[in-house]
Structure 1
Amino acid sequence: MVAIPQQEIIDHLAAGDAGNTDQKGKALEDVIEQTLCLIDGVGLIHRNVEDLPGSLEIDLILYNHQVKGTGLPFLPPLLIVECKNWAAPVNTATLRAFTSKIHRMKLKFGLLVAANGITGDAVDITAAHAHLRDVFNRDDEIILVITRAELCGANSTEDLGVLLRQKYGRFIMGMASF
């Protein structure tokens, strides 16, 4: 278990908040990269990478060695991460763009870090929540959503791992709180 430097995260995000849209996005990407890469077996492969035609851009591609007993053994070897440091929840259209990237890469898992979550109601499964459920039911693709508050509430890699495990379990069981 590694402590997550919460004050550094809060300060870095606050500095990003004071900047323009690109600086806000970069600040969240920085924090996610630094935080997730503290987890045993997780590291960076690429950041802000495009495919050859330039039609698909990914914020972070992380490797996951699936270290048993620690780390994230329940998640796949490649973690595709999209970061949205927006004041508003991420809408269905934006989420569709991300899920289409996951589908196009023939992967089954993605992580959306949405500062203020996604649109709709998690319990009634409406709006963006409905899209996530549809994608899972149709294509077996799992997209987990982490909010900025959840990220800032994780004091250690163990806390972050527990958060992801709980979200994963709730997602596959069709429960609210993706």
Structure 2
Amino acid sequence: MFDSATFAMHIDSVDDAETNHDKGKSLERLSSYLFNCIDGIEVRETNINGPAEEVDLLLWNAKTSEVFQPWDNLISVECKNWSRPAGAHLIDSFAAKIRLKHLTTGVFIAANGVTGDFVNGNDQNRGAVYRLHEHLTRDGIRIVVVRMDDLRDIYEIKEFIELVKDRYCKIYMHRVF
């Protein structure tokens, strides 16, 4: 059950983290809290270290929530609590993890978003936004991007669900935010 005071505590923990380790762990805990509050979604594993990859969160999707019905039963979540936007190489790495497991959907939670501006016609640097589009059109991999600014605007779990639904739909229009 979503509790706004607990959620605010998690947001503060992310904002107050100082070391790289604490930054990463606090964002993972915040993400775990949010996903565990959604009916039919359960965080099954955290920090899975495989031989070729690491997965921050692995979700079980029972497909009881309408928004998550078209998604895979397993959903990978990548958390990046960096002071700068995440680059294209991180999107490529995350897409490779999804593809390796024969999945099609993932959530990329990047505190400061991702690089690139494909939506506004400025694709000169071919940043992460461009790569999101490429992975969708080439491999059918759908990656939803969530920023800390998005999360700071949430006061009820239904707002997070609407955010995810909005981002999922916008992938098909080549928009990330």
TM-score normalised over the length of structure 1: 0.89
- Counterpart of 2:95 (choices 96, 99, 112) is 99
SS of equivalent to 2:103: coil
CA–CA distance in structure 1, aligned partners of residues 56 and 4 of structure 2: 21
CA deviation after TM superposition for structure 1 residue 4, in Å: 3.9
Provide closer, same or farther for how the CA distance between residues 164 and 68 of structure 1 changes in structure 2, counting only shifts above 3 A. closer
2:72 maps to what in 1? 76
CA deviation after TM superposition for structure 1 residue 67, in Å: 1.0
Q: Gaps spanning 5+ residues in structure 1: where?
A: none
CA–CA distance in structure 2, aligned partners of residues 168 and 99 of structure 1: 15
Segments of 4+ in structure 1 off by > 6 A? none
CA–CA distance in structure 1, aligned partners of residues 117 and 14 of structure 2: 26
2:113 maps to what in 1? 117
Contact 1:9 1:152 in 2 (8 A): no
Provide closer, same or farther for how the CA distance between residues 150 and 73 of structure 1 changes in structure 2, counting only shifts above 3 A. same
Contact 2:11 2:30 in 1 (8 A): no
1:144 aligns with 2:140: no
SS of equivalent to 2:28: helix
Contact 1:47 1:61 in 2 (8 A): yes
Q: Gaps spanning 5+ residues in structure 2: where?
A: none
CA deviation string 1:33-86 (max 9, x = no partner) = 0111111111111100022xx2211000011111145x6334322110000000
CA–CA distance in structure 2, aligned partners of residues 92 and 13 of structure 1: 23
Structure 1 stretch 87-96 or stretch 60-69: which is displaced more? 60-69
SS of equivalent to 2:44: strand
1:90 aligns with 2:86: yes
Q: Which has the higher contact order (CA 8 A, sep 6+)?
A: 1
CA deviation after TM superposition for structure 1 residue 122, in Å: 4.1
1:8 maps to what in 2? 9
Question: What does residue range 137-176 of structure 1 map to in structure 2 within 5 Å?
Answer: 137-172=137-172, 174-176=173-175
2:53 maps to what in 1? 56
CA deviation string 1:106-158 (max 9, x = no partner) = 11011100000000104125411111111111110001100011012111111
Identity of aligned residues (%): 28
CA–CA distance in structure 2, aligned partners of residues 68 and 177 of structure 1: 22
Contact 2:129 2:176 in 1 (8 A): no
Letter in 2 for 1:109: T
CA–CA distance in structure 2, aligned partners of residues 68 and 114 of structure 1: 24
TM-score normalised over the length of structure 2: 0.89
Give the CA RMSD over aligned residues.
1.8
